[in-house]
Structure 1
Amino acid sequence: MDFGVVLQCNPPASRVVELAVRAENLGFSHVWTFDSHLLWQEPYVIHSAILAATRKVIVGPMVTNPATRDPTVTASTFATLNEMYGNRTICGIGRGDSAVRALGGSPTTLATLRQSIEVIRELANSRAVDHTGSRVRLPWSTGSSLEVWVAAYGPKALALTGEVADGFILQLGDPDIAAWMIEKVRAAAEAAGRDPSTVTFCVAAPAYVTADDSPEALAHARDQCRWFGGMVGNHVADIVTRYGTDSDVPAALTDYIAGRTGYDYNRHGRVGNSHADFVPDEIVDRFCLIGSAQTHVRRLAELRDLGVDQFSIYLQHDAKSSTLEAYGERVMPALADQVTAIDTAT
């Protein structure tokens, strides 16, 4: 299993770069950032600084969208970064949440998302693509390589992911919900004539490592991560509006938003968001990874057995450095393949 970290582009940008460098030094393979240009600093500028300061981590947005960013511009950005730093970028994309809703807009249609995935991937892989009635390409781009991973929750978005995406981003850490969604993506990939094993599965959620599993430690960790249930609730509300409460979407995902009254995008992704007060402790425990290092290892082993290839930590709480340290020194090594220098069996 690979490990990534998801950072907000809060000033100073140097702190974001510092955390990215720290993550690489601790063995993380991916560094992701939010992409919401009104709420935080411009991610692609910071991506360039991260790539310059690191050696091998893969860098990209979790997630961008086709509404606030023209797909040809997005493709050009990735191809430029790849030319500068050697094919170390990745594109996470979805229909749009905070980047568009903070400006009073709405997420794009799945048809627009599908078309944007094709345009971004083809252009950023130094290939030509049909777009707006013309055959276009980036004439200066040669040898660029980019995967496009799609963030999705609803049945139709999951189907699209299986049909066209290089990877699937699930923004919650509940194994039961993950199993259902992974199966939907795999089935869609197979129905489209693709090998389901070629789709990479990434689970992204807040992780908070406590010294022990005492009630006091867990209560503090829950309060630091409760914002995530509110963020996920935005997407779940869309699913309920579209499909109702009697669809095959797991009730474990949809039922908890019954007490949701609204959402303050000024507090999006931030600890203490009052519009996440409706999120019960049970949802925090299921959607996030909190507790001792051993507790994290058990949950991650369960996700790995479901076919999850990468776990990425939303690092938005008061224990950023200690969580990175705990993962690098205790959690990740416990999940790595054990290789010995001497075969004692012979």
Structure 2
Amino acid sequence: MDFGVVLQNNPPAWRTVDLARQAESHGFDYVWTFDSHLLWQEPYVVYSAILAATRKVVVGPMVTNPATRDWTVTASLFATLNEMYGNRTVCGIGRGDSAVRTLNGRPSNLATLRESIHVIRELANDRPVELNGRTVRFPWAKGSRLGVWVAAYGPLALKLTGEVGDGFILQLADPDIAAWTIKVVRDAAEAAGRDPDAIQFCVAAPAYVGDGDSPAARAHMREQCRWFGGMVGNHVADIVSRYGADSTVPKALTDYIKNREGYDYNEHGRAGNSHTTFVPDEIVERFCLLGSPREHVEKLEALRDLGVTQFAAYLQHDNKEETMRLYGERVIPALAETVVATA
């Protein structure tokens, strides 16, 4: 299993760069960031600095979208970073949430998402693509390689992911929901004539390492991560609006938003925000990874057994460095393949 961190591009930008450097030092393989240009700083500028300050980590957005950026510009950004730093980028993409809603826009439809994935992937992989009635290509991007991973929750978006995605991003860590989404993606890939085993499966969720046996410490961890249930609730509300409350989507995902009254994007992704009180403790525990290193390892083992190939830890809380350190010392080694010097 690979490991990543998910950071916000809060100023100063060098703080984000330093957290990425620490993540690599502790054994993480990926550094992801939010991509919402009104709420945070421009990620691609920061990616260049992260790549310059590190040696191996792969960087990319969790997630970008087809609406706020021209697709050819997005592809050019990735291809340029690849030329500069040696194919160490990944493109996470979805229909759009905070980046478009803060502009009073709407998420892209699935047809647009599908087309954008094709254009971005072809151009950033040094291949020509048909666009606006002509064939276009980057003449300077020789050797560029980019995987496009799709973030999804609903049945049709999951089907699209299986049909065209190099990877699947599920932004929550509930094993039951993960099992359902992974099956939908794998079935769609097989139906499309693709190899389901070739798809990367990334679960992304807040991870907070602390004293899981202390009620006070446990409560603090939940409050630091409750924002995540509110963020996921935005997507779940869209699913319920589209498919209804009695669709094939697991009630484990949809039931908890019944008391949701709204969302303030000015507090998006912020610990202690004021509009996620509707998220019950049970959801925080199910969607996130909280507690001792042993508890994290146990949940990650369950996810790995379902086919998850990467866990990406959101670090929007007050224990970033310590959580990364304990992952590096206790969690990541426990999930690593055992290799012995002599046998």
Matched, 1:288 2:261: no
Partner residue in 1 for 2:262 = 262
Whether the aligned pair in 1 keeps the contact of 2:211 and 2:218 (CA below 8 Å) is no
Distance 2:188 2:19 in 1: 37
SS at match of 2:207: strand
SS at match of 2:337: coil
Deviation at 1:212, TM superposition (A): 3.6
Distance 1:243 1:102 in 2: 24
Partner residue in 2 for 1:243 = 243
Greater Cα shift, 208-217 or 273-282: 208-217
Partner residue in 2 for 1:122 = 122
Deviation at 1:338, TM superposition (A): 1.6
Distance 1:233 1:161 in 2: 20
Distance 1:258 1:334 in 2: 38
SS at match of 2:211: coil
Question: What letter matches 1:182 in structure 2?
Answer: I
Partner residue in 2 for 1:139 = 139
Partner residue in 1 for 2:232 = 232
SS at match of 2:246: coil
SS at match of 1:311: strand
> Over the residues paired in the alignment, what is the CA RMSD in angstroms?
0.6
Distance 2:158 2:221 in 1: 30
Question: What letter matches 1:331 in structure 2?
Answer: V
Question: What letter matches 2:93 in structure 1?
Answer: I
Distance 2:162 2:212 in 1: 39
SS at match of 1:108: coil
Question: What letter matches 1:44 in structure 2?
Answer: Y
Deviation at 1:53, TM superposition (A): 0.4
Distance 1:89 1:337 in 2: 24
Q: Number of residue pairs matched? A: 343
SS at match of 1:276: coil
Distance 2:34 2:212 in 1: 30
SS at match of 2:31: strand
SS at match of 1:223: helix
- Structure 1 segments of 4 or more deviating over 3 A? none
Deviation at 1:331, TM superposition (A): 0.6
Partner residue in 1 for 2:336 = 336
Partner residue in 2 for 1:326 = 326
TM-score w.r.t. the length of structure 2 is 0.99
1:140-219 equivalences in 2 (<5 Å): 140-219=140-219
SS at match of 1:274: coil
Partner residue in 2 for 1:9 = 9
Partner residue in 1 for 2:306 = 306
Matched, 1:317 2:317: yes
Matched, 1:253 2:242: no
Distance 1:150 1:322 in 2: 30
Distance 1:288 1:213 in 2: 17
Partner residue in 2 for 1:98 = 98
Deviation at 1:342, TM superposition (A): 2.3
Distance 2:255 2:201 in 1: 25
TM-score w.r.t. the length of structure 1 is 0.98
Distance 1:187 1:236 in 2: 22
Gaps of 5+ in 1: none
Deviation at 1:211, TM superposition (A): 2.9
Question: What letter matches 1:154 in structure 2?
Answer: G
Matched, 1:72 2:72: yes
